[in-house]
Amino acid sequence: MELSKESFLDGQILLIDKPYRWSSFQALNSVKWTLRKAFSLKKLKVGHAGTLDPLATGLLLICTGKSTKKIPELQGMEKEYTGTFHLGATTPSYDLETAVDATYPTGHLTESTLREAAGQFLGDVLQKPPVFSAIKKDGKRLYQYAREGKAVEVPTRKVHISEFELTRIAVPEVDFRVRCSKGTYIRSLAYDFGRALDCGAYLSVLKRTKIGPYNVNKAVSPDEFRDLFRESGFEL
C-alpha cells in the first residue's frame, strides 16, 4: 500500500478487517479520519462496498478517491463467509442482537440429516431477509418497524449459494463456510436451515472472509491502518 496523498486521491481499494461490534460506518469513519489527518485533507471521497452487521467481523472493502466509482462492481462480486449456527433455538433478529424467543429439541439430529439439509440450499434460493435489517419498505427501514413492534410483510428474493459446507458439527453448534451472491443474508440462511431441520437456529458467529479476489488474510483493522501511518512518521 502506497502511503501518499496522490495515491489515495487517485484511488485505492483498502482491505479492512472490521472489528466485532463496530458498525461498517464506524470503520469507514476511522479510516477516513486517518487519511484526512495524515494528509491535512478537508475533503476526501471514501465509501465502502457492502455493509457488515455490527456483530459480524471480517472483510470490508473501503474505496478512496476515484476508486469509489468501482463500488457497484465490487458490491456485485461473490462473497465468502465462515461462522457458526446455534441449533435448537431462534431469535427475532436471527442472530444475537435479540434474545432467544423459542427453544426446540435437537435429539433427532444426525450428521447425515444436517448435511442433507445443507444440500437443499445450493443454487438459486428464495430467501426472506430478516425483519431486523436495513432494507427499506415504503421509505422506512425494516428494523425501524421491528423496533416499534409493527408487523410488516417482507418480500422474498432470489439469491445464489454456490457453496455451503459444514466444517464442524458439535450440536447445538455447527460451523460453516458459504460462498454466495450479493444480497444473501447469512442470518436468513441460519433461520431457514433451522426450519429445514425442524429445530430452529440462529447465527451466533459470522466472519466475511472474501469478496471476489480480495481476502481478509490481507486486511488490517482500522487501528492497524492508523498505526501504519504513525510508524511511517505521519503525525495523527
Question: Where in the sequence numbering do the catalytic residues fall?
Answer: 53
> What is the distance between the alpha carbons of residues 80 and 142, in angstroms, rounded to a whole number?
25
* CB-based contacts of 198, cutoff 8 Å, min separation 6: 104, 108
> What is the distance between the alpha carbons of residues 113 and 196, in angstroms, rounded to a whole number?
10
Q: Which residue has the cell 448435511?
A: 115
Cβ pair 89, 200 in contact under 8 A: yes
Distance set, CA 121 to CA 111, 116, 209, 220, 228 (Å) = 16, 10, 20, 32, 42
Cβ pair 92, 101 in contact under 8 A: yes
N- to C-terminal Cα separation, the chain: 18
What type of residue is 47? G
Q: Which residue has the cell 461490534?
A: 21
Kind of pairing between the strands at 13-18 and 57-64:
antiparallel
Residues composing the chain? 236
* CB-based contacts of 160, cutoff 8 Å, min separation 6: 123, 124, 125, 180, 181, 184
